[in-house]
């Protein structure tokens, strides 16, 4: 009980610190089936993002922000399971050339740790708990409503504000004739160039002005 309380206190400090910084990934999973890859990512600002790709083309993206208490439960689950993972978290590896699961853990003693295995493989309990938590997060996102309709018909202008795929916001500071956008991130002031064909891969939606 004492150890669990100490762990919770550490997680609360880490979470509070993360809120004041640019969000970073906590855990990421990419499941590849043939040409289709589905990626679910949990970020330190409680944002969960799903992207789906077919080959080099992104076909779908969706995002939600989970409540604080829910985030802490997931964070504790991932942290505890990561600490319990041994060097061989998969007990029965199955070779499937057309399907693969890749998990990247940004928490735990060996972070960032990358684990690759077949969807048909038998995994040990800690990795099974990580898989279960990611399945639950993915289900929550897929059950949510899409929110990027305005992006499809958007005509960018200097001063427009956008929400990025990782939950941060940025401002358009330049619009080039060929459609290239220069964004300045609101939190870090770092500038990022976004080509026209990459907008829907990095920008979630246009932030409407609040009256």
Q: What is the DSSP string of 24-62?
A: -EEEEEEEEETTEEEEEEEETTSEEEEEEEETTEEEEEE
Same domain, 70 and 87: yes
| Domain of residue 39, residue span | 2-142
Same domain, 136 and 162: no
Choose one of 85, 107, 142: the last residue of a domain. Answer: 142
188 token code pair:
């870090």
* Residue 167 CB coordination number (10 Å): 19
117-120's contacts with Cβ under 8 Å and 24+ in sequence apart are 117/90, 117/93, 118/93, 118/94, 119/31, 119/33, 120/94, 120/96
Above 90 in pLDDT, residue 16? no
* Residue 197 CB coordination number (10 Å): 9
* Residue 74 CB coordination number (10 Å): 19
Q: What is the CATH number of the domain that holds 161?
A: 2.40.10
Tell me the pLDDT of the chain averaged across its residues: 83
Same domain, 124 and 169: no
Per this entry, what is the length of the chain?
211
The predicted pLDDT at position 3 comes to 47
23 neighbors 166 (Cβ within 8 angstroms): yes
Above 60 in pLDDT, residue 137? yes
Q: What is the CATH number of the domain that holds 111?
A: 3.30.1560
What pairs with residue 50 in β-bridges? 40, 62
Measured between alpha carbons, how far is 96 from 98 in angstroms, rounded to an integer?
A: 6
Each residue of 43-63: pLDDT tens digit? 999 999 988 887 777 666 788
Same domain, 172 and 193: yes
Closest Cα to residue 80, out of 143, 29, 6? Answer: 6
Whether this model's pTM surpasses 0.75: no
Above 50 in pLDDT, residue 67? yes
Above 90 in pLDDT, residue 28? yes
Choose one of 101, 120, 142: the last residue of a domain. Answer: 142
User: How many domains is the chain partitioned into structurally?
Assistant: 2
Which single residue is written with the structure tokens 């099974």? Answer: 128
């Amino acid at each position: 009980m004492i150890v669990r309380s100490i762990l919770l206190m550490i997680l609360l400090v880490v979470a509070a610190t993360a809120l004041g910084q640019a969000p970073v990934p906590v855990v990421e999973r990419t499941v590849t089936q043939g040409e289709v890859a589905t990626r679910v990512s949990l970020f330190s600002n409680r944002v969960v993002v799903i992207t789906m790709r077919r080959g080099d083309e992104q076909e779908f993206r969706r995002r939600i922000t989970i409540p604080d208490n829910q985030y802490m439960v997931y964070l504790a689950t991932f942290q505890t399971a990561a600490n319990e993972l041994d060097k061989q978290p998969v007990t029965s590896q199955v070779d499937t050339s057309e399907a693969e699961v890749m998990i990247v853990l940004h928490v735990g003693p060996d972070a960032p740790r990358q684990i690759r295995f077949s969807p048909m493989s038998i995994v040990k309990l800690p990795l099974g708990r990580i898989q279960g938590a990611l399945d639950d997060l993915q289900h929550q996102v897929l059950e949510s409503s899409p929110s990027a309709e305005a992006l499809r018909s958007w005509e960018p202008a200097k001063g427009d504000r956008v929400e990025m795929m990782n939950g941060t916001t940025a401002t358009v500071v330049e619009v080039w004739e060929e459609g290239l956008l220069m964004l300045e991130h609101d939190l870090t002031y770092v500038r990022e160039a976004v080509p026209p064909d990459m907008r829907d891969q990095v920008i979630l939606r246009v932030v409407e002005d609040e009256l």
